[in-house]
Structure 1
Amino acid sequence: MTRTIARWALAALLVAAGASHLTWGRRGYRIVVPDWATRLFRTDKDTIVVVSGVVELMLGGALVALPGERRRTGWAVAAFFVAVFPGNVHQWRTRRPAPLLRTDRARFVRMLLQPLLVVWALWSTGGTSGTGR
Structure 2
Amino acid sequence: MQQGFPITIVADGQFSDSLKPLLIQLEMWINFTALKAEWFGNEDYILSFDFTLLRSLEEKKLLLCEDNWVVESGYAYHYESSNQTTIAFIAVDDLAQEGVGIEEAIKARLIAVANAVASSVGSGHDLLALS
Pick 1 or 2: higher relative contact order, CA cutoff 8 A, min separation 6. 1
- What TM-score, normalized by structure 1, do the two folds share? 0.28
Structure with bigger helix share is 1
- What TM-score, normalized by structure 2, do the two folds share? 0.28
